Amino acid sequence: MLSLLESKNIVNGENMATATITSKGQVTIPKSVRDTMHIHSGDRIEFIKINNERYEIVAATKDIQQLKGMVKTDKTVSINEMNTTISSMGQS
């Protein structure tokens, strides 16, 4: 069973949830963290490496429709340009 501890984060004064890794390498994400991140059973999370000692956990639950417009660019690309680029990548 996983033991959870609530402690005070001395750096910025916010509550910090703590969990213990089981012998199988599993961690239960504390409910307060799941609620804040809006993640539920079956959702996916990603671990983004910040440096050798720190990772950021990000909810990977966004629908593809929600991603529309995230990348801003003024450049338009034709289907022929896309096909040419894809073809050249396959030749490398």
**Domain 5-66, second-level architecture:** Ribbon (2.10)
* Contact (CB, 8 A) for 34 and 40: yes
Q: What is the mean pLDDT of residues 2-11?
A: 42
Domain limits, the chain: 5-66
On the question of pLDDT at 45 being above 50, the answer is yes
What is the reported pLDDT for 18? 87
Amino acid at 56: E
With a CB cutoff of 8 Å and minimum separation 6, the contacts of 33 are 17
Q: What does the buried/exposed string (b/e) look like for 48-82 if buried means 16 or more CB atoms within 10 Å of the residue's CB?
A: eeeeeeeeeeeeeeeeeeeeeeeeeeeeeeeeeee
β-strand partners of 7: 16
* pTM listed for this prediction: 0.50
Per-residue pLDDT of 51-78, as tens digits, reads 898 888 888 876 666 666 667 778 888 8
